Amino acid sequence: MDALLQALQPIMTAAFTVWGSPVTWLEIVAFALAIWMVICNMRVNPLAWPLAIASSLLYFLLFWSARLYGDASLQIVFVVVAFWGWWQWLRGHDASGQALQVRNLTPRGRLIALVAVALSWPAIGFYLSRYTDTDVPFWDAFPTAGSLVGQWLLGRKYVENWPAWIAVNTVGVALFAYKGLWLTVLLYALFTVMAAFGWRAWARMGHGH
Digit-coded pLDDT (tens) for 170-202: 999 999 898 888 878 888 999 999 999 999 999
C-alpha span between 44 and 154 (Å, rounded): 10
Is 100 within the bounds of a domain? no
Is 126 within the bounds of a domain? yes
Is 41 within the bounds of a domain? yes
Give CA 107 to chain center in angstroms.
24
C-alpha span between 21 and 89 (Å, rounded): 39
For the ranges 3-17, 90-104, 113-127, 182-196, the maximum mean pLDDT occurs at 113-127
**181, 184, 186, 190 alpha-carbon torsion, rounded to 10°:** -160
C-alpha span between 13 and 202 (Å, rounded): 39
Sign of the CA dihedral 12, 10, 31, 163?
A: negative
Beta bridge mates, 17: 22
Q: State residue 158 phi and psi, 5-degree precision.
A: -90, 135
Question: What does the pLDDT read at residue 97?
Answer: 87
Question: What does the pLDDT read at residue 104?
Answer: 95
Lowest mean pLDDT among 1-10, 104-113, 126-135: 1-10
Is 97 within the bounds of a domain? no
Range of the domain at 110: 2-92+106-206
Q: Are 55 and 34 in contact (CB under 8 A)?
A: yes
C-alpha span between 140 and 91 (Å, rounded): 34
Is 193 within the bounds of a domain? yes
Question: What does the pLDDT read at residue 67?
Answer: 80
C-alpha span between 101 and 49 (Å, rounded): 17
Question: What does the pLDDT read at residue 9?
Answer: 61
C-alpha span between 22 and 62 (Å, rounded): 12
> Total domain count for the chain?
1
Close Cβ partners of 17 (under 8 Å, ≥ 6 residues apart): 23
Is 110 within the bounds of a domain? yes
Close Cβ partners of 11 (under 8 Å, ≥ 6 residues apart): 24, 25, 26, 29
Helix spans in the chain (H) = 2-7, 25-42, 48-65, 69-91, 107-131, 137-155, 161-178, 182-206
Is 101 within the bounds of a domain? no
**How does DSSP classify residue 96?**
T
Is 149 within the bounds of a domain? yes
Residue type, 106: T
pLDDT in tens, 22-69: 778 888 888 899 999 999 999 999 999 999 999 999 989 888 877 888
